[in-house]
Amino acid sequence: MKTILRSQELSCPSCVAKIEKALKNLDGVQEATVHFNTGRIEVEHDPERVKAETLVAAVKSAGYEARVSAF
């Protein structure tokens, strides 16, 4: 399953790396891609193992705010 998150707080390329690392460290996440210019965060994950709320919490633990986006 792919979940799309949005973050408006991306101010540098290191933000991308921190968020991707936090998401990829979650059990059940196969891939996480952060688009610096748009704030779009695409996460491929097993919905049985990782819920959207957990993805948002992981981004927050990396120091950034995020929300689930419809597109």
- For residue range 46-63, what is the model confidence (pLDDT) as tens digits? 999 999 999 999 999 999
Q: How far apart are CA 33 and CA 67, in angstroms?
A: 15
**How many Cα neighbours within 13 Å face the side chain of 62?**
25
- For residue range 19-43, what is the model confidence (pLDDT) as tens digits? 999 999 999 999 999 999 999 999 9
Q: How far apart are CA 27 and CA 56, in angstroms?
A: 14
Q: How far apart are CA 70 and CA 13, in angstroms?
A: 24
Q: Report the DSSP pairing between strands 40-45 and 29-35.
A: antiparallel
pLDDT the model gives residue 12: 86
Domains defined for the chain, CATH in brackets: 2-6+12-69 (3.30.70.100)
pLDDT the model gives residue 4: 97
